[in-house]
Amino acid sequence: MKKIIATIVCTLCYAVICAQLVWLSVDKQPLAGAYSRNYQQLLTTLQNQAALAYIPVVTAGVRTERRFMLSAIQQHHVMIALPVNKGGFGLHLAQSGFSGFRQQSVGFAYGRKLGERCSIGIQMDYLSKKIPGYFNTGTLVGELGCLIHLTPALHVGVHIFNPTGSPLRRLDKEAIPAIYSAGIGYEISAAFVLSAAVVKETATALLTKVMCEYRIIKTLSLQLGICTDPQLNTAAVGFTLQQLFVLLSANYHPQLGITPSAAVVWAFKKDIR
């Protein structure tokens, strides 16, 4: 009976999760700062590894979200960025699910500047999925990212997740989608950035998102985002207290409801580059 219940719950979770891009790091739809030079931060490095080239100090953080207010598909992330000469390394650990159904990923990344106007990044991920009593499997996939700064204010970027279409190593070879994204950002001022992005996942419709970030004062910022298919409206507020950054956010799906999330990031003072 327990196995039957677990199977039913996992099936429902899978149906719900399919409304989102589940294998990408953190929020699958990028933050406004992902396409910028001066708004990059630890969370944007998980969306485009080329941003690791612009993190000036050792930075670590955690993030958690309860997707659609369901504890069975809540997600937790631990991340760290370590700057080195002309670039930086990143480590990302993520887990979602519950005791009867669990997905995990471990990613190791490197980003590097190619001159003053371009940076590139690469990441290798080990993705695993486990249903106790049924299977425990995993596979390696890759991610590639690039950022180009056309002018001091205008920026573009591209990112590819799992370009080879690697499946999970199971009897049915469950497909892990290839996901392509591209975006453009305009830093209107030192306090406001506006971005737009498109995301295409294998066998799904094109997703379009428009985002902005406004730094009201040095310690307070607001972020807004609107995207299509799935339709999600996102709002976030960020607090900066010296080396500590706290981001509280939520997105709303008209059928599935609210997904709240919180992130805490700590930047160490010493710049080792």
| 27 vs 178, more confident | 178
Q: Is the model's pLDDT at 166 over the cut of 80? A: no
pLDDT of 169 reads: 66
pLDDT at 235 over 60: yes
| Alpha-carbon span 169 to 172, nearest angstrom | 8
Domain residue ranges of the chain, discontinuous segments joined by +: 2-216+262-267
Q: Which two tokens stand for residue 230?
A: 């799935």
Amino acid at 94: A
Instruction: Name the architecture of domain 2-216+262-267.
Output: Beta Barrel (2.40)
For residue 9, the surrounding DSSP H or E stretch is helix 2-17
3-state SS, 47-76, equals CCHHHHHHCCCCEEEEEEECHHHCHHHCEE
Better-predicted residue by pLDDT, 1 or 130: 130
* Separation of alpha carbons 198 and 30, rounded Å: 10
CB 132 within 8 A of CB 106: no
State residue 6's pLDDT score: 41
Residues 25-48: what's their mean pLDDT? 78
Q: Which residue has the tokens 């695993």?
A: 128
- Say what the pTM is: 0.81
pLDDT tens readout for residues 50-105: 999 999 999 999 998 888 787 777 888 899 999 998 899 999 998 888 777 788 88
Could you read off the pLDDT of 193-205 as tens digits, one per residue?
999 998 888 877 8
Helix (H, G, I), strand (E, B) or coil at 131: strand
